[in-house]
Structure 1
Amino acid sequence: MAEQYWIGGFYIDLSRNQITQNKQSQIIAPKALAVLTYLAENQGKVVSHDALLAKVWQNTVVSPNTLQRSIAQLRKALGDDSKVQVYIKTHAKQGYSLECDVRWHEHIESVNLNSSQENVVDETPVIEANSSEANSDINNATITAAITPARPKPSRSSLISISIIFGIMILGIIGYQTLPAKQPSQLSFGELRALTSTDSKELASIYSPDGQYVVFHRYSQEFCVNNIWAKNTKTQQEFQLTNNFDSYGSHSFSKDGKNLVFIKTGGCSQPDTQKKCYKLMSLDFNRALGAPQSPNVLLECKNSAIRNPKWLNNNNIALLQKFSDRWQLISYSVNENKSQVLYAIDDGNILDYDYSVTDDLIALTSFHVDGHYYIEVLNADGQLVSSHRIKYPEEIANFRLIYPNFSPLKKQLIFSTGRQLFTLSHDGQVTNISLPLDEPMGTPTFHPDGNRMIVIKGRYDSDIVSMPISQIAQAQTEQVQSQQNISLSVLERSIVADESAILQPNGELIAYKSERSGEDQLWITDGKGSQQLTQFPMDTYLFGMDWAADGKSILVNANNTLTQVYLDSSQKSFPLEYAVVQLFQWDSSNNSALLLIRSKGILKFAELNLTNSEIRIINDNTVNWALKSENGQLVYTDHMARFWQQGPVEDQLIEALEGQGREKQRFVIKDNVIYGINEDFQLWSYALNQDRFEIITQLPNNIDDLSDINQTQLLMTVEVSSKKEVVELSLSE
């Protein structure tokens, strides 16, 4: 195939990845040029999407809009667009065609020597001397003589000047070649391919130090089994490293790649201050490649949580440890079996951190006393190198938590907010990579060579279902315990998450949140059709909503900020100085709300006066869900899924509900009766005034949550499917 050709007045040089017109050159991604070349080879013919994908991205799974992005890039370079299609024409549901004439040349030297100087200038590629793209071609540069008409013989002084200039050019090229390789100045991603593709959930993925393997969790929902797996990225062979092991933490390799560490939850005697125990485990990676192994326990915590272990170059293991509500970064010595605090914030909190084996540096994000988020860089011994406030751009909500990892760019980290990728510099500057993804992807982690990264791509599909109250009465009367006897009606169905449905007071509407428009938005339905009420920006997440007593508006927590949304889609914001983590309940009559807020990085259970923005801290406990009954009794569940009722002196544990809570699940209250679902998927009720507990009926095992109840129906969320997989994004060449 020819490496140079012309499309109209545009000169295409595949060897330099350039399109040139009138001495102006543009660097184009190789895959985009491959698309253009294949269209040029079939000039005037319609080339299908499948044919283009098969030709350009052979044996690679790519995102559906990858081809569209390449076409858009080519049209921009050719001065074309999707409306005025002069060069590349779209054929609906068929493909694309190149409409302009193509002139092929096997070599640049094959230009007709008798052509006029004007034509040669038009058709010869020009690299601007001051362009950054030109520098990348110097190592492979070839010197091509300009083709010009015969001129008089140059003078001796001219020859000397030319020799000096030529010598300077040679020295410049030699000097450039001796410089160390430059890191990329910015990140630009090309193709995307799936590394895992099963019916299970794959997550928590990392590369091995040599880049040969990807290690990840694989969770089978059907068999309730979670194991650690490895996949050889070259041979595609998979290896099960553990056998029926319930680990749920991220992994880290030792520097030599021989061992793995990770966190296991549960599996020890019942702790006093938390629901689960945490164990730091190690695994001999090479032995596990031969056959599944039983990991070794390095450290066990019954009264503190640990997460995110990272193996340091000094062979210690860094991890985050939580006492009460504060996280601190510690370093654990395996040889000495003891730990020391590397970094802690007295009047703030640590959010997350990452470690660079190459730079031997730790980068962590944290909350400070001023209420802002910071990026801090430490040496491996905990010495602070730099600390800067993170400067959020408009694309990211003010209170959005970010979890950055090191990137191949110097002093730059990378993170995802869902469908967008950003870099974060050591001095707190955030830059959009300009790669809107078709669906959320998280936890970006780079390959050791810096040319690709893995992310977790997931989708959750849930529906809103209704259960008639008459069935509850029948179950209570007849003591029906079998789920075959219950009838659930689907109220809202899509291929994405529809959940958190709440009933309009004294009305027929149901409000719920849905991702059907791309991200979380507030929707309402009357049973005949749905209407989208909000247009929140990309990567929005809703954490709680509740109707006003008159049923004319809804208070919603969108991106950690409270917004009152009316039925005509108009809005009223309530700007606060702290993040609203969860909205539990809105008492519109008294204009107050029950909230979980984050202040200086610490979670607090509070009641907010929306009229004057005054806040009353109820307690400093981690509260999963909270509601007030009709007679004003406050009930909440704590981090151990225990039920508490507020008392005159101190809060009282509701002993009748011991073991009936589900971690991070809600309950509802109607007529001073609490309704909930336990770990065995049993629907239960508890009458507050009579202190009476009853198991009502058995529910299907795919019931995810209980959201509301009235005189006629009970609303729940049912999980249809949940998918997570490991995919790889490659940097554009």
Structure 2
Amino acid sequence: MQYKLGPWLLLPARCIISSKVIERELDPLSFKLITYFISQPDRIIPRQELVENVWQQSFVDDNAINRAISELRKQLTHPEHKAPLIKTHYRKGYSLTVTPKKVINDAENITAHTAVTTDLATDLDTTQITTNEVLDNSNDIKEKSPKVINTESTITANTTQTKTLKPAIKFSSYRWLLILLVLLLTINLFIDFNIDVKVVNDEPNTPLAITTQTNKSDIETLQKITPVIAKNVNITAATWNIGSETHPLVSPDKNIFAYTNKNNGITSSYIKSLSNQQEIKLTYNDLHISAMSWQPNSRILLVETTDLKSQCHYATFDLSNINNIPEPRLIKECDKQARSMAQLSIDGNTMFYIELDEKKLGQEIYQYNIKTQKSTVLVPSGDAQYGVTNMLISPNGKQLLYRWYERNSPAKLYLLDIATREQRVLYEQAEELSSVTIAWLPDGEHIGVLQEKTLSFINIHNRALNSIELPIKKYLSRMSFLDSNQLFSSEAASTQAQVAQIDNIFSKGEKKVTMLHRSDSNDYYPTYSRKQQNSHYFISSRTNQYQIWQADDSTEKQISNFSTEEQQAIYVLVLSDNEEYLLFNRNNQLEFIDLKTGVLHSIPELDQAKVSSYVWSNNDKTILYSTIKDKVSQIWQFNLLTRENTQLTFEGGQKLLKNERGEVFYINDNTLFNLTYEQDKNTQNAFTKKITITLAQCWCSIALRDDYFYSLGDPLSLARMHILTGEVEEIALPQDSMGIVLKAASNKLLTTLTNERSTQVQRISWSATPLP
């Protein structure tokens, strides 16, 4: 039996969906999900029902379900059928948007082994339950055929019918032989799954599942442990070159370490001996080189090489003899937004790397087979903003430790078994905005988690934990252990942000960069006054605490007075049309300042909303914002006078934008939509435009002006697309930038430029303490 589902034809026997010339193989979890949806047409299926019937467990982490549904939606996308086939019902569950139809293939009914296969379906389904215990939504392998024998029994488990065939007598002996062979195969499968369960599957592309249960009481216990003050702490500089020195990496044999240096816009990597301090710079065709990781149990260093314009490659240096280093081996082209995070398997045949998902919304882990040159998704983003933010392979090469962060939720540390794809939560951060630094200890049995001054050691087997407190004044973004009581580290504050104006963008004239105000602090996210072109607002840390400031040609003044007792995280500033109010997100709460009175206003009705972008309406009495509800981004409207909260979109929507005519746009699935047209009942045709330039991950780095959509998809290049003609242009920027605002004057850009600070890799040691 086959099934027609919208534009797709599902072939259960092959776990394939096809449409004309398109054919896609479904991973086991996606196949089980779609067949369950087909067996339950025309109804909303609650999440718990999917947990019990598809995962066949009592509990599955929400992220696991979201990733599985997200992957299924990706598999079901069709170039001609734009409407999604899976619909999310807020707080209710999921349903099909089309009615599945059975398609009988008569050819299936004339083979002599059909009856045998059907009779054995129940036995094989019982065997499959064993494999389901290690199935996971997060393993989104898209290329390899699932190794699951399952005909239509998953769909019609209770209505299996067997047609009696009457083959010729001369084939009867073969029929019984076939039955015997299948019976022996079934017994062999049973033995493999139930007796030899300790056999490790070394095939890197085998899709298996992830269990993500989190024991809240255990997490709370871990977070309440009081750290012990470390004794005999010694902090010394380990590097002395000019520039920002970051990302120390101790080699597996503990004889050398690598690090990255940024100076005057040039990125270099160095190798330094721990015995005699000999230092060697890695070079290749005058390219920028960033050290990323060591291949476990080897002297192979994985790096990123790029010219910051067109070339970008993952490559490896063989450092077996640092006095005779051969040219690097190029492995794979890389996305310029790869963020220098990749790991090699212990045999060097597979590379795990992090890149943005198809929607350029969140980051996911891919695995790349170096021999076949094929990539598959290992841990998907689940359509969550940010997704996987860090990843480290264990010293023995058997496990991946990664940090998962979804906007407005505390981050979690997951441990994933590379062979079985089983994973579990090792640690959950207590606070959403807190930053952590993670690293493996050399023994491979423990990980280190650094939060501000507290360094915690976690046993990966039983999650036992103990902590020490180090005399650290600055946040350390990277660390690499030499031993359980000694590490190399680098500061996070390796860059300084300054507000600037760039003239003559997208024009023939020479680009002119003007620093609007200089300070030793970080100044960022400017927005300008349309009434007073030389006046602008920005965020600054010049008082040792982030506050909002206003500046013009001659004066700079602080206009906010936030508490100095707590850390402030302030996001994009949005000025109302009448320029009386300034809207922003502070510590995940929407607030605005009355610029005439200086009064700070909160919006308690939105305290629980996970707001990711926001704009003022044209009447300055209503705020439009995007938020995530039931793991789906939506556009809402809040009236400040009536306190009424109204949902405007139901099938997605994020990254709100407003042009100079007051029209509001949003982005969904890499497409630009005109929200003003959608809400205007007199407008017959809604406006949509597919975005063909690289979409910046940060909402702060996109803008609309004069019918152009601008995107800072790369820190050194600004692209724009004409939203009517589709014409695309791209220019190089003179310096790394983040955040963009287009001024009313033609070809003038307000942005935040980043400069490298001079920092050093530090070596920290302390008196050894017992590990948990």
Q: What's the TM-score once normalised by structure 1's chain length?
A: 0.55
Take 2:513 and 2:311, find their aligned partners in 1: how far apart are those partners?
38
1:707 aligned partner, one-letter code: V
1:262·1:282 contact (CA, 8 Å) conserved in 2?
A: yes
Alignment of structure 1 residues 257-656 onto 2, 5 Å: 257-263=298-304, 279-287=313-321, 289-291=322-324, 293-299=326-332, 308-313=341-346, 317=350, 319-320=352-353, 323-324=357-358, 329=365, 350-357=388-395, 360-366=398-404, 373-384=411-422, 386-387=424-425, 390-392=428-430, 396=431, 398=432, 402=436, 404-407=438-441, 413-415=447-449, 421=454, 423=456, 425=458, 434-435=469-470, 437-448=472-483, 450-465=485-500, 481-483=509-511, 488=514, 490-504=515-529, 510-525=536-551, 527-531=554-558, 533=560, 534-535=562-563, 540-567=568-595, 568=598, 570-574=600-604, 575-577=606-608, 579-581=610-612, 589-595=620-626, 604=633, 606=635, 609=638, 611-612=643-644, 616=648, 626-632=657-663, 634=665, 648-649=685-686, 651-653=688-690
1:261 aligned partner, one-letter code: L
* 1:474-529 Cα deviation digits (max 9, x unpaired): x99xx87235xx694x5432112212222356579632111223354322346424
Report the equivalent of 1:52.
none
Q: Which secondary structure does the structure 2 equivalent of 1:543 belong to?
A: coil
Take 1:431 and 1:523, find their aligned partners in 2: how far apart are those partners?
42
Take 1:310 and 1:441, find their aligned partners in 2: how far apart are those partners?
21
CA 1:551–1:561: 2 relative to 1, 3 Å: same
* 1:246-300 Cα deviation digits (max 9, x unpaired): 5676522233332122445689xxxxxxx9897542221125x235543223345
Report the equivalent of 1:709.
743
CA 1:636–1:459: 2 relative to 1, 3 Å: same
Take 2:714 and 2:380, find their aligned partners in 1: how far apart are those partners?
36
Report the equivalent of 1:11.
none
Take 1:714 and 1:210, find their aligned partners in 2: how far apart are those partners?
53
2:341 aligned partner, one-letter code: N
Report the equivalent of 1:20.
none
Take 1:691 and 1:346, find their aligned partners in 2: how far apart are those partners?
29
Q: Does 1:217 align with 2:252?
A: no
1:630 aligned partner, one-letter code: R
**Shift in Å, 1:717:** 4.2
Take 2:748 and 2:277, find their aligned partners in 1: how far apart are those partners?
47
Structure showing greater Rg: 1
Q: Which secondary structure does the structure 2 equivalent of 1:217 belong to?
A: strand
**Shift in Å, 1:208:** 1.0
Take 2:569 and 2:424, find their aligned partners in 1: how far apart are those partners?
31
2:689 aligned partner, one-letter code: Q
**Shift in Å, 1:601:** 7.8
CA 1:238–1:614: 2 relative to 1, 3 Å: farther
User: Which residue of the other structure, out of 281, 284, 304, is the alignment partner of 1:243?
Assistant: 284
Take 1:681 and 1:262, find their aligned partners in 2: how far apart are those partners?
20
Report the equivalent of 1:188.
230
Q: Which secondary structure does the structure 2 equivalent of 1:198 belong to?
A: coil
Q: Which secondary structure does the structure 2 equivalent of 1:542 belong to?
A: coil
Any gaps of 5 or more consecutive residues in structure 1?
1-183, 268-274
1:295 aligned partner, one-letter code: P
* 1:293-347 Cα deviation digits (max 9, x unpaired): 4322334578997963334456564624555356655655657877777666879
**Shift in Å, 1:728:** 1.8
* 1:119-168 Cα deviation digits (max 9, x unpaired): xxxxxxxxxxxxxxxxxxxxxxxxxxxxxxxxxxxxxxxxxxxxxxxxxx
1:218 aligned partner, one-letter code: N
CA 1:728–1:400: 2 relative to 1, 3 Å: same
1:342·1:382 contact (CA, 8 Å) conserved in 2?
A: no
CA 1:216–1:358: 2 relative to 1, 3 Å: same
1:343·1:382 contact (CA, 8 Å) conserved in 2?
A: no
**Shift in Å, 1:432:** 8.2
* 1:41-91 Cα deviation digits (max 9, x unpaired): xxxxxxxxxxxxxxxxxxxxxxxxxxxxxxxxxxxxxxxxxxxxxxxxxxx
Q: What's the TM-score once normalised by structure 2's chain length?
A: 0.53
1:422·1:433 contact (CA, 8 Å) conserved in 2?
A: yes
2:331·2:370 contact (CA, 8 Å) conserved in 1?
A: yes
* 1:543-564 Cα deviation digits (max 9, x unpaired): 3121234444422223444333
1:277·1:302 contact (CA, 8 Å) conserved in 2?
A: no
**Shift in Å, 1:232:** 2.1
Any gaps of 5 or more consecutive residues in structure 2?
1-225, 678-684, 768-772
Q: Which secondary structure does the structure 1 equivalent of 2:341 belong to?
A: strand
**Shift in Å, 1:391:** 4.8
* 1:621-654 Cα deviation digits (max 9, x unpaired): 886x843332415377998xx9887784562258
2:573 aligned partner, one-letter code: M
1:406 aligned partner, one-letter code: W
CA 1:405–1:387: 2 relative to 1, 3 Å: same
Take 1:660 and 1:385, find their aligned partners in 2: how far apart are those partners?
31
* 1:364-398 Cα deviation digits (max 9, x unpaired): 33369996643333334245364367251xxx4x2
Q: Which secondary structure does the structure 1 equivalent of 2:320 belong to?
A: helix
Take 2:733 and 2:379, find their aligned partners in 1: how far apart are those partners?
47
1:458 aligned partner, one-letter code: A
User: Which residue of the other structure, out of 262, 265, 273, is the alignment partner of 1:232?
Assistant: 273
1:405 aligned partner, one-letter code: A
2:404 aligned partner, one-letter code: S
1:545·1:584 contact (CA, 8 Å) conserved in 2?
A: no
1:257 aligned partner, one-letter code: S
* 1:557-592 Cα deviation digits (max 9, x unpaired): 234443334453634155455644555767672522
2:583·2:593 contact (CA, 8 Å) conserved in 1?
A: yes
CA 1:617–1:711: 2 relative to 1, 3 Å: same
2:614·2:623 contact (CA, 8 Å) conserved in 1?
A: no
Report the equivalent of 1:14.
none
1:503·1:709 contact (CA, 8 Å) conserved in 2?
A: yes
CA 1:241–1:522: 2 relative to 1, 3 Å: same
2:230 aligned partner, one-letter code: S
1:500 aligned partner, one-letter code: Y
Q: Which secondary structure does the structure 1 equivalent of 2:296 belong to?
A: coil
Take 1:692 and 1:187, find their aligned partners in 2: how far apart are those partners?
61
Q: Which secondary structure does the structure 2 equivalent of 1:404 belong to?
A: strand
1:206·1:454 contact (CA, 8 Å) conserved in 2?
A: no
